[in-house]
Amino acid sequence: MAAVIRFDRVSKRYPPGLDALSDISFEVAEREMVLIGGHSGAGKSTLLKLVAAVEKSTGGAVLVGGQNVSGLARSALPYLRRRIGMVFQDQKLLFDRNVFENVMLPLSITGFPPREAAQRVRAALDKVGLANREKALPVMLSGGEQQRLAIARAVVGRPNLLLADEPTAHLDSDTAADVARIFHEFNHVGVTVLIATYAGELFPGARRLQLDHGKLLP
């Protein structure tokens, strides 16, 4: 099966000489679910940021859908990111907009027809179990609900690649299991999923990559 993500001897060095990642090579196949484990500061978040070209590698090639994203022009970045769903560690919800509007944002950005967009937003909210919280502001949601909202926003554009950075951190075990189940469901319908997490046991059946001080353990 074709590789959705391919890292070829990728390194990322932050000035003045801190190596966040060095000589990383791996592939993620279509429809695969892959976990990236490792201690805090091992480079998990940096790796995800390289996939979405939020950061650029300082060595090697990061290919997403066959396209080398570290060489992408600034003007091409938006179109790469529209193909990727991202769940951020700090969620990055907009607190002055309600649940519905938060999920609507990616569709507004791509210029979806409003009526169809609204249907998609409701479908995404339904899938994460927030269908009855449309009008709520994010502050009114519990931690688990906020995380599910972040997931709904990541998947509303129906990306074929979903990235998540510590999606179950700070959640109690029941809620964490619930969130993990949602990722499994998306994976089952064909979405390639790459998750950086401490809590590998929540995602049984997923392939694991282990980072240690910026290096991939064999």
Partner 1 sequence: MMVWLDHHRAAARLAMRRLGAAPLNSLLYLLAIGVALALPAGGQMLLANALGLAGTTAAAPQISIFMASSADRAMAAEIESRLKKRSDIKRVQFLPRDETLARMKANPGLREVIEALAANPFPDAFVLTAADERPEVMEQLAVEFRQWPKVEHVQLDSAWVRRLDALLKLGRTAVLVLGVLLSAGLIAISFSIIRMQVLTYRAEIEVSRLLGATDSFVRRPFLYYGLLLGLGGGIVAWLLVGAAALWLRAPLGELVRLYDLTLVLQSLDARDSALLLAVAAGLGWLGALISLSEYLRQN
> Per CB under 8 A, which of residues 43..82 are in contact with partner 1?
52, 54, 75, 78-82
Whose Cβ is closer to partner 1: residue 117's or residue 171's?
A: 117
* Cα distance between residue 9 and residue 14, in whole Å: 17
Distance CA 122, CA 156 (A): 9
Count how many Cα atoms sit within 13 Å of the Cα of residue 44 in the half-sphere of its side chain: 26
Q: Which of 7, 2, 35 is nearest to 21 (CA)?
A: 7
One-character DSSP codes across 16-65: TTEEEEEEEEEEEETT-EEEEEESTTSSHHHHHHHHTTSS--SEEEEEET
| Range in contact with partner 1 (rule: CB under 8 A) among 86-94, 129-137, 192-200, 207-215 | 86-94
Cα dist from 115 to 112, 126, 152, whole Å:
8, 17, 18
Least distance between partner 1 and beta carbon 217 (Å): 29
- Nearer Cβ to partner 1, position 47 or 199? 47
Output the six-digit token pair for 193: 């999923």
Residues 88-127 that bind partner 1 (CB under 8 A): 88, 92, 94, 105-106, 108-111, 113-114
Query: Which CB, 55 or 145, lies closer to partner 1?
Result: 55
Site pattern 143..162 for partner 1 (x: CB under 8 A): ----------x---------
Q: Which is nearer to partner 1, 157 or 214 (CB)?
A: 157
Shortest distance (Å) from residue 215 CB to partner 1: 27
Under rule CB under 8 A, how many of the chain's residues touch partner 1?
A: 21
Tally of helices (H runs) and strands (E runs) in the chain: 6, 10
Minimum CB distance to partner 1, residue 53 (Å)? 10
Binding site for partner 1 (CB under 8 A): 52, 54, 75, 78-82, 86, 88, 92, 94, 105-106, 108-111, 113-114, 153
